[in-house]
Amino acid sequence: MTLTPSSHGLYRSVVTSSRATPLSACDDGVLARAVSGASGEDASDAETELYRRFAPRVRLFGLKHLSDRAAADDLAQQVMLVVITRLRTGEVREPDQIGSFVLGTSRMMVAGKKRGERRRAAIFARFDAHEEAVDPANDLALDGSRLAPCLAALRERERTILLLTYYADKSAPEIAAAMGMTSGAVRIGRHRALASMRDCIETRRAS
């Protein structure tokens, strides 16, 4: 896709008209095209909206692959900086596929971080250095007092499945062996338990 002034103009008409579509309602591609090739000031609102949408997804991706909340936060900032910079300089060939571009950038940066981590671990091992793992407080954590009654309300086997999954870090086959069930039944039980938990938390929040 060739970037033309019209792609930027589309964004401007969207956000400046009196009947403008709010940025929050724009497609990801519309926002990306707005940033693409624009100066930072022109497209700052679109950049902010892109950041709002994608930084949390990158953070989740980082949590999965780096298993560290602080590292995931850093990753989100670094990836979004690269994405917005490349959009501004017109280096993103298909702004309509911005989701794929952000995911690809996230994968590359995680791979780089893991390589760096392996090198760092090797150096630490060589010099017998030690480092305290830090797990920063999760400011988005669910309130335990709201969660506890919902966990208590589950069927016994579902509660055990959740504890073995999320606390003891056991896989479905391991849980199945421990509980005399099949792996499929464990996964179904886990899905059912989580659905019940969501409903319960939502009900308690509403009341």
Partner 1 sequence: MTATRTPCPSFGELADYWTSDITPDEAEQIETHVFDCERCARMLAEADRLRVGIRDLARSGNVQAFVNDAVLNRLARDGVRVRSYALDPGETVRCAVWADDDVIVARLRADFTGVESVDAEMRFDTGEEWAQATDVPVRKGETELVLALPAGLVRNAPTVPMRLTLRHSAGSSGERILAQYVFHHEGALERP
Q: Site residues (CB under 8 A) for partner 1?
A: 1, 28-29, 53-54, 56-57, 60-61, 63-64, 94, 96-97, 99-100, 102-103, 138, 140-144, 147-148, 151-152, 155-157, 159-160, 162-172, 174, 177-181, 183, 187, 190-192, 194-195, 197-198
Angstrom distance (rounded) from CA 61 to CA 18? 38
> Roughly what angle, to the nearest 10 degrees, separates helices 5-16 and 44-66?
100
Closest distance to partner 1 from the beta carbon of 156 (Å) = 5
Q: How far apart are CA 100 and CA 185, in angstroms?
A: 34
**Nearest CB to partner 1, comparing residues 53 and 88:** 53
The DSSP element (H or E) to which 145 belongs, if any, is helix 144-152
Judged by beta carbon, residue 23 or residue 162, the one nearer partner 1 is 162
Q: Are 44 and 63 in contact (CB under 8 A)?
A: no
Nearest to 21 by CA among 3, 46, 41: 46
Q: How far is the CB of 18 from partner 1 (least distance, A)?
A: 26
- Closer Cβ to partner 1, 134 or 140, answer by number: 140
